Every structure is written in C-alpha cells, then in structure tokens.
Chains A and B, each alone.
Chain A
Amino acid sequence: MFSLFLEQMLNGFQSGVMLFLMASGLTLVFGVMGLINLAHGSLYMVGAFACAVVAAWTGSFWLGLVASLMAAALAGVLVEILVIRRLYRRDHLDQVLATFALILIFSEGTRWIFGSFPLFLNVPDLLAGTVILPGGAQYPIFRLAIIAAGLLVAAGLFLLIGKTRLGTRIRAGEADREMIAALGINIDRLYTVVFALGAALAGLAGAFVGTTQSVQVGMGEPVLILAFVVIVIGGIGSIKGALIGSILVGFTDTMGRFLLPLALSTVTDASSATSIGSALASMLIYILMALVLFLRPSGLFGAKA
C-alpha cells in the first residue's frame, strides 16, 4: 500500500512537471504579448511526432528529442510570423478563433500525413528498466528521468527570465510594451523569440509524454485544457504561479483518481465505488479551480483579473 502510494505520488509529480512545460509557455505568451493561444497543444503534438519520426529513422531517442525541440520551435516561429503576429492587437475572440483554426489545420494536416493510428516511441536503452522504490514497488527509470529533466528545464527557465538580458527584456515587455520599444528593443523579434521558446518547451513535453503514452493526433488537447486550468489557478502571466499550479493540478488529478475510489469503497461496493470515484476524480481539478477563483479571482499569483 505504501509503495503504491509513493508510486502515485511520483506519477502526480511527473504529470505536474510536464504540465509546467506546457503552462509556462502559455503563460509567458499571454503575459508578454497578451495572446491566448489555443494552438499551444498543437505544438506539443508537433514535438511528439517529430521525436517519434526522427527516433524511428535514426534509431536514437536523443536525436528525436533534439528534433522535437527544433521542430516545435520552427513551427512556433512560422506560426508567429504568418498568423499570430496579426493577432496581438485584436481582441481575445479573434485570437481564440484564429488559433482554433490553427488547431484544425495542424490536426488534420498531421492526420493526413501520418494517418489516425498512434505511433509509439521506445524508451532509450540508457533509461530503460526500473528502480525499486522504498516499500518494494518497481518504478520506471525513464519517468524519474523526465521528472529530473523537467525540473532542470524549469530551473533553466527561471534563470533565463530572472538573470539574463533576454529575460530582462521579457519582463520589461510584460510591464510596458511601448516603453521597451522606445528604448530601442526590436519588439517583433522579442515576440517571435518568446513564442518560439514557449513552443520548444511544449514540444519537449510532447516528446517526453509521447514516450510514456503514445503519439497521436489530438494528444495536445487534453493537456492544453489542463494547462489552462493550471494558469488560471496560478494567475495568468506568472511563471511562479504556473509552477505551483502545475504541481497542484498534477497531484490533485493523479491522487484523486487513486484515492477517491479507495475512499468510496469503504462506504459502497467495489464496482460502484470505482465508477463514482473515477467520475468524481475527473472533476476534481475543476472544482479546485473554481475554489481558487472563488477565493482569488485572479489566481494565486495573478496581478490583476
């Protein structure tokens, strides 16, 4: 029982870290450019497909990983220059619709090229196998590795935003767009870089999660909606909020699915406990979101609604 609990805790943590890779890009793009991007899930899918295809070609997961970063960043740059750039001055409705249109284009395009069947990614040899957790359960090394990789990326992102010149510009862009343009910073290029950065993070998350699950059209959409919940909880535009929100949502979702049916089985029979428990668990993070909004309408770390 203890080892199962520990295993679920790690799973929750892993899903939280992966969510952060998605949510940080979304929240950056919103914070700096004021843009709501529904197509962020498509960039996640692009990353996963690029990783699967390149890994299958070359036999190397690592090259696939590099490909996922590059493909997602490239797709991000293209989309930003062709479409997104025209949307910064538009209202949110136009942004929602245009990025919804991008989802249709990405999803159908991918289905056209790769078909509807999922692709599978193999865990690299180096990280295959399992470790024994305290309590005796086996846990895949790969999952531990992606937790570590995700945390590393998160730390890198905080350093980038907090300590580098680019990060200063990004923070300045969040605070006052006109002013940094007046200071002679090429704002168009800054926006493209921020968008590409967010896209690369989403693509990386896609490659990681694609390896533990499967790579298929539409895989980005559930994650996108979870990432929305995360940034609503954390406060839109706040990277710190995205981190706290991701971990909170990852844990609540995973532990809810694990614990609720167990808790209910003490009051009803096993089969209805499973069905009621899993139905309730699927709603849990939204209830959490509603609670947070009720107490703090602009999220935990949000500046203003």
Chain B
Amino acid sequence: MIMNRETIINSVLAALLIAIPLVAQAMGEIFIITLVTKVAILALAGVGLNIALGYGGLVSFGHAAFFGIGGYAAGILASHALNYQPIATWPFEISGSTQMIVIWAVALIASALAALVIGAITLRTSGVYFIMITLAFAQMIYYFAISWPAYGGEDGLSIYVRNGFPGLNTLDPISFFAICAVLLALALWFSAVLVRSRFGLALHGARQNDQRMKSVGIAPFRIKLTAFVISAMITGLAGALYADLNRFVSPSMLSWHMSGEIMVFVILGGVGRLFGPVAGAGLYILLEHLLGGAFDYWQLPLGVLLLLVVLFARGGLIGLLAGERKHA
C-alpha cells in the first residue's frame, strides 16, 4: 500500500497523541497528561466544526454555543445529582446524573436540538449573513447563561467530583485521557466515513453549487442542516468532556472567543483536513503553554501568527507539511 504524505502525517499525529501521555505517565508528569487531554477535547470540538466548516463550507462563528451547551449539560446534571434535587418533577421526575454516558447522551441531544433551531433559521441565509447570525445566536445563549441565576450565572458552576464511567476511575488522569482519546478517534473515524458516504458527496456538492444539487434532485437545505446538526453534536460532546476536565463550567465556554478559538484550531491545522483540528489544537495548546509561560500577553504573538497563517499559509499546518489538498 502506498501511503500519501497526509496519511503519514496523520499517523504521526495519532501516535504522538497516544505516546506523549504514556511517556508522561511513566515519568510521573501528570500535568502533561492533562495538557494532552485538553488537546484531545479541543480537537474533538474542532472535528465537529470541521464537518460544517471544512466539508460543508458553513462558516459557523457560533460553535461555542454547542460547546457550552454540552458543558452545561455536564454541569447541570452533576449538580442536581450531587444535591439530590430532581431537575424536573412534572410531568415525571427527572433526576440528575453523574454518569458520563448519561451526560453525553444529554449533551448530544441538547446540542442537536439547539443546532436544529439555529440551523433552520441561519441556513435560510448564506455568506456573511450566516457568519453574523450564528455569532449572534451564540451570543444570545451566552447572555442568557450570564443573566440566568439558577446555575451560577456569571460565576459558573463547579462540578465537585468528576463524573463517572463504568469500570474506570475517571479521576485518574490517564483513564480520563483514554476516554477522551477514544471518543476523538471515534469522531475522526465517523467524519472520515461521512465524507466518503453518499451524504458526504451531497454535502460537497451543496458547498460548491446549490443550484446544481437542486437540479439533480437533492435538497441542499436539508443536507446542510443535517451536517450542521451533526457538527454541533460532536462539538457539544467535546463541551461535556471539557467541563469534566476542568470540573467547572462557566459562560466563558459560550463566549465568542471560544467560537473563534475552535475556528482557529481548524484553520491552524488545515480546513477540511481530517486531522486538521488535531494538529491545530495541538499547536494552539503548545503555543499557549510555551508563550504563555514566558509572556503574559501571549495572545499578541498568537494573533500575529494567525494573521500570517491566514495571509500566507492558507493550507494550515497540514497544508504546509503535506502540500495542496487532493480533490475529494
């Protein structure tokens, strides 16, 4: 089998992502495991956005909404379970949960519903309207989270004990990393399959030419909405994991800076590349760690770097290393 350069780079990235925490575990460097876990979670959020942005051409500037909704799903369910307060008593009693599987299901469903509503409105528009309106809806949810006092409002919500997973001690950093890495691998596999499927081809077509899709009997709106919802669900799942990583969720997960950051992961790595978000999130966290340690105002050089990438290196990291994208 002849592997192309992108496949080799992807394999190296995957190997690094797994090897670094294992080495760190052996050396007792717990902090590094947490750092790589963060990379895996943020990469997962980016994998979600990449489906809408990279494959569907939908420049959503509001994916923090889904990231935050996933985070709040974790925070709210856990806080109700820990306080023994049911979430609702009518029409039937719903109690909280500290089981990750339950939390993930809720995060997936909640982000899907939010994306269905937001997508149904925003996909009526396109181009710059779409960018501004996705941003505006995310901002609406952000302000709602700030002014709604029940779950901490501006101060956010702490998760005192990390939520559980059957058979694993999730407080052990390497176990929690394993959970995140498996979910990231599943999401990568899913998006690779999705792109090659009939749906993926239709999405590719809808990105390039709406009219042509209509003329061959495919409704582009439904294709795009489905892609938007799937994309939001993956980002929402990442949000739930992120809340568990920090054991804290606050409106900042919903802020437009977060939307921008998730977008930056995708771009730094390479738009529409399978492993783009992994490379991007890795580079971002590395920069945050190296520059942030040396310089309080590390976002200044980050901004300059991002500007240079956008102006002069449009394929991102993977584009630099693997060359132009092959036509799908």
Contact = CB atoms under 8 A, between A and B. Distances in A.
B15 interface: no
Contacts of A191: none
Contacts of A293: 121, 124-125, 129, 133
B197 interface: no
B297 A105 contact: no
B144 interface: yes
B300 A283 contact: no
B306 A236 contact: no
A98 B311 contact: yes
Given A105-B304, A293-B133, A305-B127, A100 B121 contact: no
B133 A232 contact: yes
A86 interface: yes
Interface in A11-58: 30, 36
Interface in A272-290: 275, 278-279, 281-283, 286-287, 289-290
A270 interface: no
Interface residues of B, number: 43
Contacts of B135: 225, 228
Interface stretch (B34-42, B239-247, B263-271): B263-271
Nearest to B130: A92
A107 B128 contact: no
Contacts of A36: 128, 131-132
Contacts of B133: 232, 289, 293
Given A30-B128, A36-B128, A94-B310, A108 B300 contact: yes
B131 A96 contact: yes
B144 A101 contact: no
B306 A101 contact: yes
A102 B310 contact: no
B139 interface: yes
A1 interface: no
A283 B146 CA distance: 11
Given A36-B128, A232-B132, A293-B133, A282 B147 contact: yes
B103 interface: no
B303 A97 contact: no
Greatest chain B CB density within 10 A among A100, A111, A281, A293 is at: A100
B264 A100 contact: yes
B263 A83 contact: no
A60 B260 CA distance: 38
A229 B297 CA distance: 30
Contacts of A111: 297
Interface string B132-153: 1101110110011011110000
Interface residues of A, number: 43
Contact of B59 (A96, A289, A294, A305): A96
A105 B303 contact: yes
B176 interface: no
A216 to B, nearest CB: 15
Interface in A108-154: 108-109, 111-112
B16 interface: no
B314 interface: yes
A92 B127 contact: yes
B61 A232 contact: no
B125 A83 contact: no
A182 interface: no
A120 to B, nearest CB: 22
B144 to A, nearest CB: 6
Contacts of B124: 293-294, 297
A100 B271 contact: no
A67 B275 CA distance: 48
A104 B53 CA distance: 22
B126 A225 contact: no
A305 B128 CA distance: 9
B137 A286 contact: yes
B256 interface: yes
B256 A221 contact: yes
Cβ-closest 10 pairs across A and B: A104-B303, A286-B140, A282-B143, A105-B303, A108-B300, A101-B306, A101-B307, A228-B132, A279-B147, A108-B299
17 contacts: A92-B127, A96-B131, A100-B260, A100-B264, A102-B303, A105-B300, A108-B298, A108-B299, A221-B256, A225-B135, A225-B139, A225-B256, A282-B146, A286-B137, A286-B140, A294-B124, A305-B126
Interface of A: 30, 36, 83, 86, 92-94, 96-98, 100-105, 107-109, 111-112, 221, 225, 228-229, 231-232, 236, 275, 278-279, 281-283, 286-287, 289-290, 293-294, 297-298, 305
Given A36-B131, A225-B135, A231-B132, 7 more contacts: A97-B310, A98-B310, A105-B304, A112-B296, A225-B256, A290-B137, A294-B121
